[in-house]
Amino acid sequence: MDASSAPPAPRIWVDADACPAVIRDILYRAAERTATELVLVANRWLQTPPSRFIRALQVAGTPDAADDAIAERAAAGDLVITQDIPLAARVLDKGAAALAPRGEPFSADSIAERLSVRDFMAELRGAGVATGGPPSLHARDRQAFAARLDQWLARRR
C-alpha cells in the first residue's frame, strides 16, 4: 500500500467543554511526545499550546454541537475523550475508542448499562431525589487516565 492510499493516522478527539484542564495538559504532552493529532472541540474559544499536532475546533453554541461535531468526524481507530455517555455510544458504534477523563474506558459491552444508569439518574434528578455533579478529580483519576491513554498510544504504534 503506498502512502497516498494509507488510512489516516488515528486522532484523539476531546469533548473539551467539560474536560478538566489537568486532563487537557496530559493530552497536550502526549500529543507532542507521540506526534499524535489532538483535536479539542468546544462551544467556546480554547487557547491551546503552539503545536503542529494540537488544534481547537470551535462549534456553534448549541448544547450538543460539540458532541455532534465529534461524532461526525471520529473514525474507526480514533480515541474520543468524553464524559458524555451518549457521545461515547455514538463513537463506539463507529469503531472509535472512548475514554472518560477519570480513566474509565467505555466499551461495547458496558455502554448499554451505562446509558440506562445515566437515564435513571436523570429521572431521579428530575424528581429532586438526586442532586449534585461528579466528585472532584483526584490524583488517582489523573493517573488512571494517563495510564489508559498510554495504553491506547502504545497500541497504535
CATH number at residue 133: 3.40.50
Q: Give the percent of the chain with pLDDT over 90.
A: 65
CA pair distance 17, 45, nearest whole angstrom: 10
Inside any domain, residue 3: no
Output the nine-digit C-alpha cell for 102.
477519570
The yes-or-no verdict on residue 114 having pLDDT over 60 is yes
- Give the pLDDT score at 107: 87
Inside any domain, residue 64: yes
Inside any domain, residue 1: no
Inside any domain, residue 43: yes
The yes-or-no verdict on residue 4 having pLDDT over 80 is no
Closest CA to 145 of 84, 95, 91, 81: 81
Task: Report the side by side order of strands in the sheet with 97-99.
Answer: 54-58, 38-42, 12-15, 79-81, 97-99, 105-106
- Give the pLDDT score at 108: 77
Q: For residue 129, give Cα distances in angstroms to 66, 116, 155.
A: 29, 17, 43
Output the nine-digit C-alpha cell for 74.
471520529
- Strand-pairing partners, residue 80, are 13, 98
Inside any domain, residue 15: yes
pTM of the model: 0.85
Q: State the pLDDT confidence band at 50, using cuts at 50, 70 and 90.
A: very high
Inside any domain, residue 2: no
pLDDT 10s digits, 51-77? 999 999 999 978 899 999 999 999 999
Inside any domain, residue 59: yes
- Number of domains making up the chain: 1
Q: State the pLDDT confidence band at 20, using cuts at 50, 70 and 90.
A: very high
Give the structural domain span for 18. 8-156
- Number of CB atoms found within 10 A of residue 106's CB: 22
Inside any domain, residue 109: yes
